[in-house]
């Protein structure tokens, strides 16, 4: 498909539903295709003329619950989407790679929406030797501009972007989508044993609401008056079997967010927080960016329990993408191979 030159009035389409794998068809406006009734339809329009063929488009859309159209070199078209909970985010498409990079995410989000459950994906940028930051926490900038835009695009495709307390403190991110078009997600911070200095965080000046998850029963918490109106505090039960009562239960975090209107969550770090959700089998999709750099020391990407044999590790289905000369891998946990 990559080497096939698109012809006028020809399009690539993916369609399906949450109960079965998605299917691929090459469509032509010269002939109305026989497609089954589907929950979703995703069109990639490389010749920028799909929406000009309204009769063809309307016949397609009459057989699906929701649809989305990618156009090469122009904003994403969402005027045919009937349900704004299905797909989110606005950006400029660069053709097949852009489409294939995000199609699994869009379909996984759609499946979670139909099943009325929260969706969680994660993204990390690391060096070749598996470090996400220097030992003092400095990580700006480990990856290239293309990956930064990719991270912002992922933010735009989710209801919320979640970080751990250490990332919020050391990186002090704004958690916006300033590098791409789209709506800012709601920031979520996981607070641990120590109180966060919330009024020092840059995100407080940008967002109307910030969610803070804190350990249930934590004593003497203080929220600065200057940001109190922006903060939604949600207590979370400690993780079962944890030696510390400040380690929160991952599944309860996701359920609490879902109950507060957050159906899709983008986990942006740090490594300990991603490892924590990965170990709990809560991450449905993981993007891992490799920078052509060796640090030799620093903070590790993943920190998981010690294993005794290789087959006890987490094995993934993997696809890779070129982001301006640096590699991004898309990882889907192969649950059948996990022991």
**Closest by alpha carbon to 154, among 126, 111, 121, 131?**
121
* 269-309 confidence digits (pLDDT tens): 888 889 989 988 999 999 999 999 898 888 888 888 888 88
Q: 72: which DSSP letter?
A: B
Taking the CA atoms of 125, 128, 133 and 139 in sequence, report the sign of the dihedral they define.
Answer: negative
Give 45-61 as a 3 state SS string.
Answer: ECCCCHHHCHHHHHHHH
Quickly state the pLDDT bin for 82 (edges 50, 70, 90): very low
Closest among 108, 73, 57, 71 to 87, alpha carbons compared: 108
pLDDT reading at 73 higher than 50: no
Q: Please state whether the peptide bond connecting residue 270 to the residue before it is cis, i.e. omega within 30 degrees of 0.
A: yes
Q: How far, in Å, CA of 319 to CA of 313, rounded?
A: 19
Compute the distance between CA of residue 261 and CA of residue 300 in angstroms, rounded to an integer: 33
Give the pLDDT confidence score for residue 88 in this predicted structure.
34
Percent of the chain surpassing pLDDT 90:
20
114-124 average pLDDT score = 91
Average pLDDT of the segment spanning 226-248: 78
Of the pLDDT bands very low, low, confident and very high (cuts 50, 70, 90), residue 186 is: very high
* Per-residue model confidence (pLDDT) at position 328: 92
Q: Can you give the pLDDT at residue 74? A: 37
> Does 331 score more than 70 pLDDT?
yes
Contact 198, 212 (CB under 8 A): yes
What are 7-47's pLDDT values in tens digits? 555 566 666 554 444 555 666 666 666 665 555 566 666 55
Q: What is the pTM of this model?
A: 0.74
Q: CA-CA distance, 254 to 213, in Å (whole number)?
A: 11
Per-residue pLDDT, averaged over 69-85, amounts to 40
What's residue 120's pLDDT?
95
Cα separation, 181 vs 220, whole angstroms = 40
Report pLDDT for 179: 83
**pLDDT at residue number 11:** 65
- Determine the Cα–Cα distance for residues 334 and 317; give it in Å rounded to an integer: 6
Confidence at residue 23, expressed as pLDDT on a 0 to 100 scale: 58
Q: How far apart are CA 63 and CA 231, in angstroms?
A: 43
CB 13 within 8 A of CB 32: no
In which band, very low, low, confident or very high, does the pLDDT at 245 lie, cut at 50, 70 and 90? low
How much is the average pLDDT of 246-268?
90
* Rounded alpha-carbon distances, angstroms, from residue 87 to 61, 220, 254, 263: 15, 41, 19, 12
- In this prediction, what percent of the chain has a pLDDT beyond 70? 66
Please, are residues 322 and 97 in contact by the beta-carbon 8 Å criterion?
yes
pLDDT of residue 92: 34
Strands 20-28 and 10-17: antiparallel
As a whole number of angstroms, the distance between CA 169 and CA 142 comes to 18
Nearest-angstrom CA–CA distance, 46 and 3: 13
- pLDDT of 211 above 90: yes
169 by DSSP, 3-state: which? helix
Per-residue b/e over 167-181, b at no fewer than 16 CB within 10 Å?
Answer: bbbbbebbbbbebbe
Residues 214, 261: Cα–Cα separation, whole Å: 18
Mean pLDDT of the chain: 76
- Has residue 2 got a pLDDT over 80? no
Inform me whether the pLDDT recorded for 254 exceeds 90: yes
């Amino acid at each position: 498909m990559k080497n096939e030159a698109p012809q006028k009035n020809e399009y690539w389409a993916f369609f399906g539903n949450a109960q079965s794998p998605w299917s691929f068809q090459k469509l032509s406006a010269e002939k109305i295709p026989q497609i089954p009734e589907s929950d979703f339809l995703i069109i990639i329009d490389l010749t920028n003329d799909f929406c000009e063929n309204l009769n063809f488009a309307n016949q397609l859309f009459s057989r699906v619950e929701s649809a989305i159209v990618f156009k090469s070199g122009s904003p994403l078209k969402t005027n045919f989407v009937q349900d704004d909970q299905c797909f989110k985010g606005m950006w400029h498409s660069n053709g097949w790679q852009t489409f294939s990079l995000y199609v699994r995410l869009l379909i996984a989000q759609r499946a979670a929406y139909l099943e009325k459950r929260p969706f969680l994906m994660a993204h990390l940028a690391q060096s070749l030797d598996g470090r996400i930051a220097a030992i003092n926490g400095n990580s700006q900038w480990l990856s290239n501009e293309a990956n930064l835009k990719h991270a912002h695009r992922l933010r735009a495709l989710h209801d919320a972007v979640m970080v751990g307390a250490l990332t919020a403190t050391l990186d002090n991110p704004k958690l916006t989508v300033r590098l791409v078009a789209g709506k800012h997600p709601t920031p979520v911070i996981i607070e641990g044993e120590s109180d966060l200095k919330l009024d020092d965080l840059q995100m407080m000046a940008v967002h109307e609401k910030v969610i803070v998850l804190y350990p249930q029963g934590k004593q003497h918490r203080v929220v600065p008056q200057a940001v109190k109106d922006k903060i939604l505090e949600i207590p979370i039960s400690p993780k079962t079997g944890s030696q510390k009562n400040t380690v929160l239960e991952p599944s309860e975090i996701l359920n609490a967010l879902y109950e507060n209107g957050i159906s899709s969550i983008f986990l942006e770090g740090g490594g300990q927080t991603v490892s924590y959700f990965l170990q709990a089998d809560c991450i449905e999709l993981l993007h891992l960016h490799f920078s052509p750099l060796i640090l030799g020391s620093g903070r590790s990407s993943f920190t998981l329990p010690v294993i005794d044999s290789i087959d006890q590790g987490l094995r993934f289905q993997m696809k890779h993408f070129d982001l301006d000369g640096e590699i991004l891998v898309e990882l889907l946990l192969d649950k059948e191979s996990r022991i």
